[in-house]
Chain A
Amino acid sequence: MSSQPVTQSNSIIRVRDLRKVYKTGKVSVEALRGVNLDVPAGEFLSIVGPSGSGKSTLFHIVGGLTPPTSGEVVVGGVDVAKVSDAKRTELRRTSVSFVFQKFNLLPNLTARDNIRTALHIAGRPMDHIEDELRNVLEMLGIAGRLDHRPSEMSGGEQQRVAIARALATRPAILLADEPTGNLDSTNSLAVLNLLRDLNERLGQTILMITHNAEAAAFGHRIVNMRDGQIVASPSVA
């Protein structure tokens, strides 16, 4: 069964008949089976589904981490299905940022240097990041933790640094993969509130993968995935 597209006129992400097949030896696994999706700029979209439903694969393709097998995936005007690896790298550098469940901060660098690294890779000025990112850092409550390494911070603090790093390059799209998966309920709530604040105050487009229905409810819209397909996308806003 193929899912029905959600048609939006100002989509920053447009996915059509997206398929992804992973080959391991002689075994082929179809992770995505004709996904259609539109995400308008400024939306906070939650993607939910059980393990193996294909939501992470969709996330990786939209983020340019891996190419699709077939279909159309236009992100910020670039069809990631048709561009080279270098172009997908450029997409990650300029238009898309990730927040991961395991934070994925560089362990040998302080919070400040983690953010500076992202800025350096994106080719943006990286001096005086406190001035540049004052609003974000204040919103995240980590302005006083910038000189600490990840190992010196709590999970919640690490995830907030990861969000700051993701936002520092001013991406068009923020992709959050189970951002509360490794956090306790207090920190989870704080991170989810932050994401919603960022969306509301800065107009940041956010795609969030989650297993948690309560977390998903923070989005404007929830998309359900099962067996590599979108099965429902009720609006919650």
Chain B
Amino acid sequence: MILRLVWENIKFRPMRTLLSVLLIGVPVMLILTLVGVSQGFMQESQRRTRGVGSDIIIRPPGSSLSSGSGNPLPESLVAKLTTVPHVAQGYGVVQMLEGKLFNTITGVDYAAFKRMSGGFIFLEGDDAHTFRSPGEVVVDADYAAEQKPKLHVGSQIKLQGRMWRVVAVVASGALARVFVPLKELQELSRPGYVSQIYLKLDDPKNLQEVLDTINAMLPDYGVYSTKEWIDLTSVDQIPAVGVFVKVIIGIGIFTGLIVVSLSMYMAVLQRTREIGILKSLGATKGFVMNLIIWEAGAMGLGGTIVGIALSFASKAVLRQFVPASLPQAIVLEWWPRVLLIALGSALLGAIYPGMIAVRQDPIEALAYE
């Protein structure tokens, strides 16, 4: 019967219900979007790393997981590493931060990259016209779509303080989003040096042996199997991102708590007379509190569903406007978490107005207009 009372009350004031559910849904969406962007950013990064086709990644000594700019490794190291038994191919890249947000520009030896990864999937342009002249840049589809105006073959783009001409738009998922010739980017930063080195083995079965050899050769360097590196580049492994997500969740919970509390307070005020009627019928404090709590729970559930739906909408909006900078993943494992957060906030928020409701004098409540 209590559930029926709650349901009828929710139905009876559709506008208030809609507003309350929306107000809970927004912080839920905020949490899901920010978690989704953190995950999406990492997943995209991992996808691009897989797309390199390497078995081993060498990073500079003392580099952190999140640092990816600058080029402190001597390029001569590539030649030395390719002499290690079972290393079949190797090349170095230069990565430099570019523009707002988290985009990088990557300098690459195109021939070596093609050999290891199998090359680009061209959406515009073709292999025959790629990196034949100075000042050429290849961009992936997401990056091209994010620029205003959208980039096409022949577009001019300013990167690292100079103009480049787009010669190809390629499918995303291989190494980087913006490619320029290695030598040209080195000239703009530090000739003869690279940011990191990719190695491919003759047979993946030899991975551990090669890792041991290189670790012995370069004891202070970051020497990772590609799989290990991908596992390391998850949200949980980067402290700053973890703290960021926690702060956002905290804000979401706080906002949800305030909103639900206000919403339930208004609900109690609106229903003062009804609560008086229930009390005149002999409803106990527990009964009235139960009613408020179930209603808050229903709002929390509704808000979660709306928040999840809104997170799909935010994904679509980000995909439309900033597909390269803010890729958003739909993180299913966070759905039960946001449900718990929304329900917890709703229940906490309902306690104060619930206490007001149960303490209400039935005579005053019945006189309420």
Residues of A within 8 A of B (CB): 60, 63, 65-66, 86, 89-94, 97-98, 100, 104-109, 113, 116-118, 120-122, 126, 165, 169
Contacts and interface: CB of A to CB of B under 8 A. Distances in A.
B280 interface: yes
A108 B8 contact: yes
A104 B12 contact: no
Interface in B276-320: 276-285, 287
B361 interface: yes
Given A65-B280, A91-B282, A104-B273, 18 more contacts: A63-B280, A66-B361, A89-B283, A92-B279, A94-B282, A100-B280, A100-B366, A104-B276, A104-B277, A104-B280, A106-B5, A108-B12, A108-B13, A116-B1, A117-B278, A118-B281, A120-B1, A121-B283
B83 interface: no
Given A100-B366, A113-B4, A86 B284 contact: yes
Contact of B287 (A66, A108, A121, A126): A121
A36 to B, nearest CB: 23
Interface of B: 1, 4-5, 8-9, 11-13, 273-274, 276-285, 287, 361-363, 366
A66 B361 CA distance: 8
Contacts of A113: 4, 8
Contacts of A106: 5, 274, 277-278
B149 to A, nearest CB: 55
A60 B4 contact: no
Contact of A117 (B281, B285, B361, B366): B281
Contacts of B361: 66
A30 to B, nearest CB: 17
B163 to A, nearest CB: 67
B211 to A, nearest CB: 69
Given A90-B282, A104-B280, A121-B283, A65 B12 contact: no
A63 B282 CA distance: 10
Nearest to B12: A108
Nearest to B366: A104
B8 A109 contact: yes
Nearest to B280: A98
Nearest to B9: A108
Contact of B280 (A86, A90, A92, A126): A92
B278 A66 contact: no
Nearest to B10: A108
Nearest to B277: A104
A104 B366 CA distance: 8
A108 B11 contact: yes
A126 B280 CA distance: 19
Nearest to B5: A117
B8 A93 contact: no
B78 to A, nearest CB: 75
A62 to B, nearest CB: 13
B281 A121 contact: yes
B282 A92 contact: yes
B278 A121 contact: yes
B20 to A, nearest CB: 16
